């Protein structure tokens, strides 16, 4: 049920993007393809991490899994065969790569005449870095068709990992990504902000600066700073002044200290950064901020690092009613992302 460009904007109809900690009906994932580019020569090594992720999610909520065809579904089922299947559904919605946060639907809800809708942002694989992305580009509409939901088209390139919302009118993002000329060179900062307001139901846009070293997304917020409540954020910092991440993360922290929501300052909790992870001379963007908030738990990427336990402790304080589930992501991070990059929440009405 697509809506054309002249349609009333979702915000005018009372829609909003809920916070990730609000109740989920399900989590959507896209199963990786053996021939995909995300995990060069390491598909078999990364599958156990996917299995651990799906297993943890199924303890909390249903999982909807996108696959390309019957053979792809069979491969995924074989990897997940010992998991409970009653809450696991497969959908033939082909994808190029598995990063459902970025190519998947962003769901909206409204309280009046309770309804859900999908926003289908344009998608160019992180600024045209990894063609082809033709299958990924249409995933939101395909999901909406599967669920029988209306679709709104902002006609602006945006990946889900580049934004985080508190569900109450505030949105976090970065200049490094959203203002990058490889996304929407025809749009001004003000025009980008207006699209976010019109299509996500937010009012206040909180801008941070640059991302971490090795992040090929140009600075997605989900590697940096996340809402933990309407006015609380958790943000990563790097204590080692010789590390390339120290300066940008310190600058982001200073910005956070100056930002407000409804005129009130943010409550800031800091997460450590794991030590450098280098593979084939490439620094990988390992970050504890790339956690996923499920209904009953937090899926936390860990890296066999001394800072893993500190990250668990901080997130347990940030989310006291949820169980923190640490899962080793040393193989997954070779794809330059972790659990938040792979997941997309479908809110409960």
Active site residues: 341
Distance CA 63, CA 55 (A): 10
Ranges of beta strands (E only) in 68-176 are: 88-92, 106-110, 115-119, 151-152, 164-165, 170-174
- 344: nearest Cα among 77, 109, 100: 100
CB-based burial label for 181 (10 Å; 0-12, 13-18, 19+): exposed
Lateral strand order in the sheet of 115-119: 106-110, 115-119, 151-152
Q: Per the structure block, which two tokens stand in for 16?
A: 């909003």
State the CB neighbour count (10 A cutoff) for residue 54.
Answer: 20
DSSP 167-203: SSSEEEEEHHHHT-TTT-TTS-HHHHHHHHHHHH---
Q: Per the structure block, which two tokens stand in for 276?
A: 């450098």
Distance CA 69, CA 65 (A): 12
Strand 225-227 and strand 204-208: pairing?
Answer: unpaired
Q: Per the structure block, which two tokens stand in for 240?
A: 């080692």
Distance CA 163, CA 184 (A): 15
């Amino acid at each position: 049920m697509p809506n054309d460009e002249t349609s009333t904007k979702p915000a005018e109809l009372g829609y909003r993007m809920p916070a990730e900690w609000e109740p989920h009906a399900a989590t959507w994932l896209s199963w990786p393809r053996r021939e995909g580019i995300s995990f060069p020569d390491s598909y078999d090594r990364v599958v156990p991490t996917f299995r651990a992720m799906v297993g943890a999610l199924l303890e909390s909520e249903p999982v909807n899994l996108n696959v390309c065809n019957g053979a792809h579904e069979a491969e995924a089922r074989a990897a997940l065969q010992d998991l409970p299947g009653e809450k696991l559904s497969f959908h033939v919605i082909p994808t190029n790569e598995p990063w459902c946060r970025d190519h998947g639907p962003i769901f909206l809800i409204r309280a009046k005449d309770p309804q859900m809708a999908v926003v289908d942002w344009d998608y160019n694989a992180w600024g045209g870095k990894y063609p082809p992305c033709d299958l990924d580009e249409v995933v939101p509409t395909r999901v909406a068709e599967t669920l029988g939901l209306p679709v709104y088209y902002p006609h602006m390139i945006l990946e889900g990992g580049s934004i985080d919302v508190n569900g109450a009118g505030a949105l976090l993002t970065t200049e490094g990504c959203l203002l990058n000329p490889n996304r929407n060179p025809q749009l001004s900062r003000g025009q980008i902000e207006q699209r976010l307001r019109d299509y996500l139901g937010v009012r206040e846009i909180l801008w941070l600066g640059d991302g971490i070293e090795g992040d090929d997304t140009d600075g997605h917020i989900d590697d940096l700073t996340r809402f933990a409540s309407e006015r609380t954020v958790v943000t990563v910092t790097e204590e080692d002044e010789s590390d390339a991440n120290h300066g940008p993360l310190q600058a982001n922290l200073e910005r956070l200290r100056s930002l407000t929501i409804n005129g009130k300052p943010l409550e800031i909790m800091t997460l450590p950064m794991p030590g450098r992870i280098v593979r084939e001379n490439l620094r990988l963007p390992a970050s504890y901020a790339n956690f996923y908030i499920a209904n009953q738990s937090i899926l936390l990427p860990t890296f066999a690092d001394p800072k893993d336990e500190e990250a668990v402790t901080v997130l347990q304080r940030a989310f006291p009613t949820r169980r923190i589930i640490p899962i080793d992501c040393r193989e997954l991070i070779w794809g330059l992302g972790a659990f938040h990059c792979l997941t997309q929440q479908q809110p409960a009405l």
